[in-house]
Amino acid sequence: METVTINHTGYHIKRGKIRGITPLTAMEKMFEIELPGGDALDHDPGQFVEVSLFGVGEAPISICSSPTRRDNFELTVRAAGRLTEALHQLQVGDEVGIRGPFGVGFPIVPLEGNDILLIAGGLGIAPLRSLINFVIDNRRDFGKVDILLGCRDPQSMLFCEELAYWEERIDINFCCSVDRAAPDWAGNIGVITSLIPGVTLDPLKTFSVVCGPPVMYRFVVDELLQKGIPEKQIYLSLERHMKCGLGKCGHCQIHDVYCCQDGPVFSYDVVKQIKGAI
């Protein structure tokens, strides 16, 4: 009888220790996690891990730090359910379970040598931050870089100090828009698609990466196609569909596609053929 070897790597839970907690908004915190022995998390920008608390549960959370900054890794968590609310109660020194990383991340190799248009809506800036910092740390490998961010209001904006840093850099074009402005807001007001027409780009050498609420994807893609960017050069992250990370529970299944294994990042020419994906 043939011997079958089963890889159980995806089931293995590592004990991660919280080394830092940074409040970002009233709803979000960023956790810096250290793995046993100081091991680095070998991940690509756009991948996610499964985070667990004994007696509470487990949830997929996108990695928001770049693999180029390898000591520890970072997760941005919105308190929106039983597990995430429990995570918000933890302190520095507490431990969490970590499985992964999982999924297909952002396409680094195709992006190299090309111009990049990065578009984030709301919490979508968290996984996209991993790619943004990767690009910054390898800036010579990429062409023109535009970053567009849309938020509900200024109070819900994440990574404010980093946003200011991106805006100050002369080798990055950063623009932000809010749906509802505060009295002291001096920036753009409107949905994120209002920023796209103002971007100057060469469509044949521009790759766009989009991450945010699924409701915004159709409108953003329409604007990008009007700009002339080919469908195969538009990438979307469908990370909100994930659950187990292993393609076993079927929670992220869309027809014959498992977002946690085949994605979460897909090119638009693939996504448009998956009915119900966006």
* pLDDT tens for each residue of 97-156: 999 999 999 999 999 999 999 999 999 999 999 999 999 999 999 999 999 999 999 999
Q: Which of 79, 101, 123 is the last residue of a domain?
A: 101
Residues 21 and 127 in one domain: no
Which pTM value belongs to this model? 0.93
The residue segments making up the domain with residue 54 are: 10-101
Q: Are both 206 and 73 inside the same structural domain?
A: no
Considering its fold, how many domains does the chain have in total? 2
In a domain, 4, yes or no: no
Q: Which CATH number is 118's domain given?
A: 3.40.50.80
Both 249 and 223 in one domain: the answer is: yes
Cβ-based neighbour number of residue 93 at 10 Å: 8
Asked which of 78, 101, 124 is the last residue of a domain, the reply is: 101
Instruction: Judge if 264 and 203 occupy the same domain.
Output: yes
| Final residue before a domain boundary, out of 47, 70, 101 | 101
Range scoring the smallest mean pLDDT among 6-15, 52-61, 114-123: 6-15
Residues 132 and 258 in one domain: yes
178 and 218 inside one domain: yes
Domain membership of residue 277 (yes or no) is no
Does residue 226 belong to any structural domain of this protein? yes
C-beta of residue 36 within 8 angstroms of C-beta of residue 13: no
Secondary structure of 48-116 as H, E, C letters: EEEEEECCCEEEEEEECCCCCCCCCEEEEEECCCHHHHHHCCCCCCCEEEEEEEECECCCHHHHCCCEE
Asked if residues 28 and 43 have their Cβ atoms less than 8 Å apart, the reply is no
**85 and 112 share one domain:** no
206: confidence class by pLDDT, cuts 50, 70, 90:
very high
74 found inside a domain: yes
CB 51 within 8 A of CB 18: no
